[in-house]
Amino acid sequence: MRWPPPFPATRKLEGFRLTATDTSWNIGDGPDVQAPVSTLLLLCTGRPTALTHLSGKGAHALTTRFLQASS
């Protein structure tokens, strides 16, 4: 058992680089998805309300992945 458990949206975020726009923080590899760190935290916990606040080369693809997974 992994502790702490992974964020709910871990699989949805695979293949993307998350970059905070309000602090020097980033993680991951792939197309860049940018947003304030609070928005990225919402995204990591699976909250789709964060999707409208994303920017960067990977924002559209990640939004599509989130919406398909929740359908």
CA separation for the pair 15, 18 (Å, rounded): 10
pTM, entire model: 0.84
**pLDDT score for 67:** 87
Per-residue confidence (pLDDT) for residue 68, from 0 to 100 = 87
Q: What DSSP line would sit under 11-40, residue for residue?
A: HHHTT-EEEESSSS-EE-SSSEEEE-HHHH
User: What pLDDT is recorded for position 12?
Assistant: 87
The neighbouring-strand residues paired with 19 are 26, 34
Q: Which residues of the chain have pLDDT under 70?
A: 1-8, 70-71
The pLDDT value recorded for residue 6 is 65
Give residue 16's pLDDT. 96
d(CA 66, CA 70): 6
> Measured between alpha carbons, how far is 66 from 32 in angstroms, rounded to an integer?
16
